[in-house]
Amino acid sequence: TVECGGDYRQIGGSCLLFVTDIEVSFTKAIDRCARRGGTLLQLESNLNLLSLIKDLHFLHGHNLFFSGFSELGPNLDAFVHNIAERFHLSKSDALRHLRQFTPEGSNSTDTLNDHSQISNLCPAISPETASVQLVNCNTRFSFVCE
């Protein structure tokens, strides 16, 4: 059995950390995931993955996947600032790293109902796991730490 602590909720055998304020909670979520030796995954609630960023190894050696990059709007500057501060990068370098891993066409909404597509994008995530995570992701910014 999996024991979830703090703000984590156990759903489908996984510990999910739900965060709604990306500006203040993003770096905290990364730290928590890093301490657990896990992967940080951010998904949008409606299964529309605007962009799914793969293998951001520069982020402290931990993979980061996140969606909604181009929808962050006014939060984008704070988001980039947090990335830069947390990993000792200039803001321009942080933004360059993020854009480097943003798939082409991320300005349009892609709906991935086929879990095998998700599995292909995230090799470490099985279709079964992806299904559990997506179905139970009920906040706009949900950090899933396995």
Which tens digit of pLDDT belongs to each residue from 29-57?
445 544 544 444 443 322 222 222 322 32
Per the domain annotation, does 3 fall within a domain?
Answer: no
Task: Identify whether the C-beta of residue 144 lies closer than 8 Å to the C-beta of residue 52.
Answer: no
- Which one is predicted more confidently, 139 or 77? 77
pLDDT band at 131 (very low <50, low <70, confident <90, very high): very low
CB 32 within 8 A of CB 6: yes
Q: Which domain holds residue 28?
A: 8-115+140-145
In a domain, 124, yes or no: no
pTM (2 decimals)?
A: 0.28
Residue 58 CB coordination number (10 Å): 17
Is the model's pLDDT at 93 over the cut of 70? Answer: yes
pLDDT at 95 over 60: yes
Residue 134 lies in a domain: no
Helix (H) / strand (E) containing 40: strand 40-43
Q: Which of 58, 54, 55 is nearest to 88 (CA)?
A: 58
Q: Is residue 98 part of a domain?
A: yes
